[in-house]
Structure 1
């Protein structure tokens, strides 16, 4: 009889131990499930954040694009917009608030002053000259603006604040009055002229940086030192001319690299515009 009672107690004890182990396993399984769900949520969050960052950084900034936006694209409202420079959307941007569609600010010279004319001259960077040509037939409004600015010595002493060196996005962006890629809201104009339909900007091209609208061109421009592709979905950028000699000067600046080792930012070698002349 005593043995039967002991056996019963032992059975109850074994059952209790089994129940306890089963409960522990169930709790561990639920915890693993929660951990797996949390990990999956974290992974999804990281992927979503990466996509958002990619779309944000590259949707407007060569302003690289292209971009951040400054007069280049090459956004002129922020920055050739990863960036504080002007840049094509996803390329050069110029950082200023865009004027109303289809309007120029009052101090913009009329396109008629340059229509049909070709201007040649020199752009000197850090004491090294580049021969340049501005085409008033293909881009009369841009030619009128930059001839006027050159005649006023506007660019003398300004800097080239942005450099890109991605595989298909190589530009040097210059002409920000503040030196940080910001555009001047009191000096904006349009339209975009002579923009390549295929988005291909050949090495040697000189193009105008702008902000978010086709009437947000300003004083910033970018020099394409290697064949570059920029988004054209919002109108692209005006190719106003070309470098006729000395493009290797820009290549040497590019070879020196970009601050922080990125592909879009301030050049390691500070670049000053000594002069910009057109005849």
Structure 2
């Protein structure tokens, strides 16, 4: 039987995901309604024009779905083999959301660690668009930062899994990789998107680099979506410097200080 707090956290994770998917469903219905109305209007215009010119208009689209566990792997040594059907799966937010702009906001951990963040909609439009929607839909609120690396040359805190333990997503995965450092060097303060072997396995998880970190570039690297602009010292002193509760075979593990995202905001820089 799971401890009471774990069972509560699992219920909260399921409820958070349910609410997010419900909001996504509402948005999708609204989008389809707008598309339907637009198509109806277009068909009327095309019908009139076709009488005079014989013009034709074709509409086509496709949609897939899929899930996978995303994680930032510092010890991978082989080049990942993309899926035979590599591509986005599920209802991925449009990359146009980022508007090729800089977005700024906050990420609050455990109510008392407030990080200023900046997302780069020019260099990483798809990843930035995903993060904007997840933040605006409050997907991250209550999720756990489940993984910490604190060794020399490998320092990051990983957050954002739907289930709080490195598993689950928001019903979509996306690619391609964007703004990846060619030398595998991720500077302190970098915010990057976690993934599994496929470049199209990015979803909701991200990691904050708390000290200059080198990751194996032969595996494809990781999308750099932005950076922490303030509060990093508080994150280190209050959370990451306290160490790992129990390290796994790769030297990473759950932080000793249980860490949750308790708030997040984002807005387009004026």
| Gap regions ≥5 residues in structure 1 | 1-75, 80-85, 92-97
Secondary structure of the residue aligned to 1:187 is coil
Which residue of structure 1 aligns with residue 146 of structure 2?
Answer: 161
Which residue of structure 2 aligns with residue 233 of structure 1?
Answer: 218
Structure 2 residue 253 is matched with structure 1 residue 269:
no
User: What CA distance in whole angstroms lies between the structure 2 residues aligned with 1:99 and 1:182?
Assistant: 19
Q: Indicate the larger mover: 101-110 or 244-253.
A: 101-110
Q: Indicate the larger mover: 179-188 or 192-201.
A: 179-188
User: What CA distance in whole angstroms lies between the structure 2 residues aligned with 1:245 and 1:193?
Assistant: 24
Match of 1:196 among 156, 161, 181: 181
Q: TM-score, normalised by structure 2?
A: 0.67
Which residue of structure 2 aligns with residue 186 of structure 1?
Answer: 171
Secondary structure of the residue aligned to 2:164 is coil
Secondary structure of the residue aligned to 2:130 is helix
Which residue of structure 2 aligns with residue 147 of structure 1?
Answer: 132
Match of 1:124 among 96, 108, 111: 108
Offset of residue 116 of structure 1: 1.3
Offset of residue 89 of structure 1: 5.0
Which residue of structure 2 aligns with residue 112 of structure 1?
Answer: 96
Specify whether residues 185 and 102 from structure 1 end up closer, same or farther in structure 2 by C-alpha distance, changes over 3 A only: farther
Offset of residue 90 of structure 1: 2.4
User: What CA distance in whole angstroms lies between the structure 2 residues aligned with 1:189 and 1:154?
Assistant: 17
Aligned partners of 1:102 and 1:191 also within 8 Å: no
Q: TM-score, normalised by structure 1?
A: 0.65
Aligned residues: 192
Offset of residue 250 of structure 1: 2.2
Specify whether residues 189 and 261 from structure 1 end up closer, same or farther in structure 2 by C-alpha distance, changes over 3 A only: closer
User: What CA distance in whole angstroms lies between the structure 1 residues aligned with 2:184 and 2:210?
Assistant: 15
Secondary structure of the residue aligned to 1:222 is strand
Structure with larger RCO (C-alpha < 8 A, sep 6+): 2
Offset of residue 101 of structure 1: 4.8
**Which one has the largest radius of gyration?**
1
Secondary structure of the residue aligned to 1:141 is helix
Offset of residue 232 of structure 1: 1.1
Could you give the per-residue CA deviations for residues 29-49 of structure 1, whole angstroms, max 9, x where no partner exists? xxxxxxxxxxxxxxxxxxxxx
Cα RMSD after superposing both structures: 2.0
Specify whether residues 125 and 207 from structure 1 end up closer, same or farther in structure 2 by C-alpha distance, changes over 3 A only: same
* Equivalences for residues 22-61 of structure 1 within 5 A: none
User: What CA distance in whole angstroms lies between the structure 1 residues aligned with 2:252 and 2:95?
Assistant: 33
Aligned partners of 1:101 and 1:213 also within 8 Å: no
| Gap regions ≥5 residues in structure 2 | 1-66, 77-81
Specify whether residues 111 and 126 from structure 1 end up closer, same or farther in structure 2 by C-alpha distance, changes over 3 A only: same
